[in-house]
Amino acid sequence: MSKVYNLLLAGFGGQGVLFAAKLLSYGGLIEGREVSWLPSYGPEMRGGTANCSVVLSEEPIGSPLVLEPDVLLAMNQPSYDKFKDDVVEGGVIIVDQMLVPDVQEREGVRLIKVPATTMAEDNDLKGLANVILTGVIVKESGCLDIKDVEAAIKKSISERKAHLLEPNIRALKLGYEFNDA
Amino acid sequence: MADKVLMKGNEALAEAALRAGCEAFFGYPITPQTELAAYMAKRMPKEGGVYLQAESEIGAINMVYGAAGAGARCMTSTSSPGMSLKSEGISYIAGADLPAVIVNVMRGGPGLGGIQPSQADYWQATRATGHGDFHPIVLAPSTVQEMASSIHEAFELADEYRTPVIVLIDGMLGQMMEPVELPEKKETKKDKPWAVTGHGGKRAQNVINSLNLDTPGLERMNFERFERYEKIKENEQQAETYMTEDADIIIVAFGACARVSRTAVDKAREAGIKVGLIRPITLVPFTSDAIEEVVDQAKAFLTVEMNMGQMVEDVCLVVAGRAPVEFFGHTGGIIPTPNEVLEQVEKLNAEKGGDA
């Protein structure tokens, strides 16, 4: 059985973690894999924290709830604090370092600090830190072929919003090319 | 083959219902079901059907009663507290022998409870959907694909047996997205000679009513209805079995719990424990045949549910003391984890002396 990817994306409601998770899910669909996307739902979505579980697998997916992520994306401090210890040995934690200032290195888990909010502002991509970070997830985890995530963006953005296509793809590539050195 | 799309369970079910020829939807918003009604609000008018948000769940189910009586393929959807409000209307629909589909996307209870996933309405769906002697048919899909694929069947069963059909799912399935191949459009509306459609004086008047003051007449109707239930029991049981052939321990679980349990079965098999899964797809009729088939080989049964232990009683009724039946569950909106189920399996295996 080939690798199952358990991804957990978390942040404040409105930062776009559900959309980022949808891009990864659509990427999996395009690759013909089994995919599940499970959001937290309810009052925590309005101004509180939101998170979304994504599973990419070759086999039918049992529980879609990710409790032991291979990849954690934290877009705010509370999400990082809540989930950092759940990440499995050999996993990776990706944070927006502007929004998650207080981090600790953990043995066996890679920590990638990305100035995603600043990168977005510097590149005229305001509000697309989530897509930049999606690029980082793909690069650091190898969970998907970046071309398929690009195709997922094209599928997820309706014709009515076609002007958003170019900046989203640019944001994805910016994240994918991000160098943690 | 149509392309797969990524859709929420609630939305996939709504789209599939439209493609199954649903002509009228009456509902009232409640989490975690709301996307279903919202999708219908957007799409139904374009399909030339009726979408109506009622003043309450009670209004909605009585609109279903009326539309069903007029011969329309119709449905409503809600979540647990709303289901209680609908129960009187469902009883009337059953009493008038009308086909209708009712979706319950369950949340934690009792009372207003919470909004997270639950299976605590199993008893309500299978035992006490309303007052009087009746059962609806109850379907329990466990994937987004199955939510889409089973809705056509739900309408067909309702028409065939002239009974309300409940599709019982939970908040997890309603809210999650999975790839789904939407079913083709099917126009298979059955002839409904009993419907009140206006007859221009050309035939005797049809009457839709659940009131019958003729005592022996009412008993006869109940007898007739239960003969239909016997046919349903004989012909419509559906279960999926997974790795049961050589299993010592049989997990019985439906909906979201079946998915969690399937992962637990895989993990236990890796550890050499002979465990299998029976997933009831129909809760009414209960899948007693599938359980009967393995009861002699089983050293123990384990039901996994998101409630305090409800379906476990139906398993006990079938097993009838021939093997121990254990229960594991969470309630209040918590989804059991595969590792928790695995732990239960390991414990049972040690106690009951499985091979590994």
Mutate to test the interface with A, among B177, B266, B267, B304 (most CBs of A within 10 A): B177
Query: B77: which strand partners?
Result: B103
Share of chain B above pLDDT 70, in %: 98
Nearest to B116, CA basis, from B340, B338, B335: B335
- Annotate A48-64 with b (16+ C-beta within 10 A) or e (fewer): ebbbbbbbbbeeebbbb
Which CATH homologous superfamily contains domain B5-235? Thiamin diphosphate (ThDP)-binding fold, Pyr/PP domains (3.40.50.970)
Q: What is the pTM of this model?
A: 0.95
Dist CA B239 CA B261 (whole Å): 15
Higher pLDDT, B102 or B200: B102
- Average pLDDT on A2-14 reads 91
CB interface of B with A, residues 185-214, below 8 Å: none
Domain with CATH 3.40.50.920 in chain B: 239-352
Domain residue ranges of chain A, discontinuous segments joined by +: 5-176
Topology adopted by domain B239-352: Rossmann fold (3.40.50)
Among A25, A34, A62, select the one facing B263 at the smallest CB separation: A62
Q: CB A63 to CB B337 under 8 A?
A: yes
As a CATH number, domain A5-176 is: 3.40.920.10
Please report the DSSP string for B91-146 in residue order: HHHHHTT--EEEEEEEBS-STT--SSB--TTHHHHHT-SSSSS---EEE---SHHH
- Contact across the interface for A35 and B6, Cβ inside 8 Å: yes
Q: Is A62 on the interface with B (CB under 8 A)?
A: yes
Q: Say yes or no to pLDDT of B48 above 60.
A: yes
pLDDT digits (tens, 9 = 90+) for A32-68: 999 999 998 766 555 677 899 999 999 999 999 999 9
**What is the arithmetic mean of pLDDT over B9-16?**
98
Of A78, A89, A30, the residue nearest A51 (C-alpha): A78
CB contact under 8 A, B179 and A29: yes
What pLDDT is attached to residue A47? 62
- Contact check, Cβ <8 Å, A67/B337: yes
Interface confidence: ipTM more than 0.90 = yes
The 10s digit of each residue's pLDDT in A137-168 is 999 999 999 999 999 999 999 889 999 999 99
Whether residues A38 and B260 touch (CB distance < 8 A) is answered with: no
pLDDT for position B60: 98
Q: Report whether pLDDT(A3) > 90.
A: no
DSSP annotation string for B167-196? EEEEHHHHH-EEEE-PPPP---PPP-TTS-
Q: Are B27 and B78 in contact (CB under 8 A)?
A: yes
Q: Which residue of B6, B143, B263 is in closest CB contact with A29?
A: B6
Q: Which residues of B touch A29 (CB under 8 A)?
A: 4-6, 179
Please measure the distance between the N-terminal and C-terminal CA atoms of chain B and give it in whole angstroms. Answer: 43
pLDDT of B88 over the 90 cut: yes
